[in-house]
A and B are shown apart, each in its own frame.
Chain A
Amino acid sequence: MKMIDVIQYKGNGGGVNSLVAVVLIAFGFLILIPIIGVQRTTDFIIFCIYVLGYSILYGYMGRLSFGHMLYFGTGAYATTLFTVYFSENPFLALSFGIVAGAMVGLLLGPIIIRTTGACFALINLAFNQVGYFFALVAFPEYTGGEDGKSAAFSQIGFIDFSNRIVMFAFALVFLISIFYVLKKLTESSYGVLIKSIKEDEGRVKFLGYNTSTYKIITFVISTTVTAFAGSVTILNYGYMTTGFIDPVRNVEVIFATLIGGPESLYGAIIGGVSYMIISNFLAIYIPRWEMFLGIALLLIVFRFRKGVWGFISEVVNRKISASG
């Protein structure tokens, strides 16, 4: 591995300043509060964390996972079970969720990243199915089986997560810090490297990089962020069911990533919010929800591959080049 080359890379610069972006995102979610209420906004934010975790793997490294609910569920189950069996301290429970996500990533990563394309998608789905089996059937006395389990969190000083404003504030801080870190990462030489793996892994290998290491790192980052989203979901809802690890729900995050624009972190946020708006507000008017999702996915694949963010940046670029 030629670390020197990686370190010497100066980053591609350009784009929006990370801090400005973070402030804009925070501001955007604050505007949402009076429109849709605090609780829904918190849901939106948590889902955006999940989409970010997915986007780093699919959008940047080009590996389509069809089983990310496993990692989401890992975080959710780890956090809940931690509160039930060890401590009700919310921060310890969250940390346990994160560690569990990273551990699952490290355990499965070396097997999963050996595949690409279709197999990558399927092996994730298969592991998701195994995880679902563990949660639902294998150990119902610990996981609560189909009924799930509720998680209670204790108050730490003045921080009480049952207060919706506190929950919202923490969720927002979590989201923007993850966004900031991922933005820095993807703009660094590491980001360029994983994008190169997406374009042509063989050439990256030929340049002397150990692509497996980078693929495992990216995979673990993705599972960790996804598990974290699962943990925060539990913190927000206070109960856990098998719905949090159900493989049938994988399509949600894929849809969100695609509609926002997979090749950008902004796209992930836009996609997360768009999906949540559609599923929270439009779903009432859509009698056949799955059919709607299917038709929308077909339209995206055949007509609208760059997503909302890709569309916006294209229009902006055209304006810039037209005026200059």
Chain B
Amino acid sequence: MIPINSIAYGLTLGGILYIISIGLSLTFGTMRIVNFAHPVAYTLGAYFLITLLPLIGHNFFVGAVIAVLAVIPVGFIIERFVIRKLYGVSIDYAIIATYAVFLIGIDSIKWIWGTTPIPLSDPIGKDIVISSVTLPLYRVIVIFVSLTIYALLWIFFKKSMAGKIVIASLEDKEAVRSLGINVEKYFSFVFVLGSFLAGIGGVLYAPITSVHPYMGFMLLLISFAVVIVGGLGNIQGTFVSSFALGMVMAITGWYWPPASEAMVFVVMAVVLIFKPIEV
């Protein structure tokens, strides 16, 4: 029998994966760009947080908010100077260009903060007990944050005009453009939104793992698996597959810890066998 702790860990991981993957999925669905630069926003969020913490008296909540807000301009700069020039360019060049941004971003991080992993302790440090099972409260909060983000995004996409335009662009970009709507403007917004969410993911995940320059690379690969399993640009699918793959990782990790990440890609390969993707 799988312990409740593993299931809780899977849910936490699923929540983090959802927060990170939704940006990738949206960027792919709207712009047809696979954004390798995504971990830059994620990793920067975590580094901003650890830089801020000593300055503001180790108040995690304030630090997290400022760090996430600080990621937004970075997303904006990447969008303005690289992504915007990639519209209509072949997808291979888009991959290479965003990977180049990844290299530049990660090297800047190494330049500023060095390569040594920096551990970050659990900001709450309390456990909660649910019927004889002890769980760190922080992880439960992460699950709730991810569910809140899901709900907020759902409201945004269903109720707001901008959200509806983005959803329509996922279906048919040309049709939306022919209505006289400047879709590129909304795509820029989607990209910055994705970077913002990645920043939240980085800040939330930092206390669970340690902070180091390559912390985002592995998570990026897993997020890609989430996006592929959930369907490219499929918002509901991304939500379901995040939690499914989070559970896969947790359960595999319970049997054989080092295999948990590899297992995700096995699942992805199986999905691709039965559902080939022509993009």
Measured CB to CB, the residues of A under 8 A from B are 58, 62, 64, 66, 111, 114-119, 121-123, 125-127, 129-130, 133-134, 137-138, 248, 251, 254, 258, 288-291, 293-298, 300-302, 305
Contacts and interface: CB of A to CB of B under 8 A. Distances in A.
Contact of B265 (A127, A138, A291, A298): A127
Contacts of A111: 269, 272-273
Main secondary structure of the interface of A (DSSP, over half): helix
Given A117-B279, A123-B269, A294 B103 contact: yes
A133 B258 contact: yes
B228 A122 contact: yes
Contacts of A119: 228, 272, 277, 279
13 contacts: A111-B269, A115-B272, A116-B278, A117-B279, A118-B32, A118-B91, A119-B228, A122-B34, A122-B224, A130-B266, A134-B262, A138-B259, A254-B96
B82 A298 contact: yes
Interface string B82-115: 1001000101110111011111101110110000
Contacts of B92: 58, 62, 64, 117, 121
Contact of A290 (B103, B225, B266, B277): B103
B272 A114 contact: yes
Contacts of B125: none
Contact of B217 (A118, A248, A290): A248
Contacts of B110: 290
Interface of B: 28, 32, 34, 82, 85, 89, 91-93, 95-97, 99-104, 106-108, 110-111, 214, 217-218, 221, 224-225, 228, 258-259, 261-262, 265-266, 268-269, 272-273, 276-279
Contacts of B262: 129-130, 133-134, 138
B96 A133 contact: no
B272 A129 contact: no
Contacts of B273: 111, 114
A137 B106 CA distance: 25
A297 B34 contact: no
B34 A294 contact: no
Nearest to B101: A294
Given A115-B279, A291-B107, A297-B96, 19 more contacts: A64-B92, A64-B95, A114-B272, A114-B273, A114-B276, A114-B277, A115-B277, A116-B279, A117-B279, A129-B218, A258-B96, A291-B103, A293-B103, A294-B107, A295-B100, A297-B97, A297-B103, A298-B104, A301-B100
B99 A297 contact: yes
Contact of A133 (B93, B106, B225, B259): B259
B99 A251 contact: yes
Contact of A66 (B82, B93, B95, B100): B95
Nearest to B263: A130
Nearest to A120: B279
Contact of A293 (B85, B100, B214, B272): B100
Contact of A301 (B28, B97, B218): B97
A138 B266 CA distance: 15
B221 A125 contact: yes
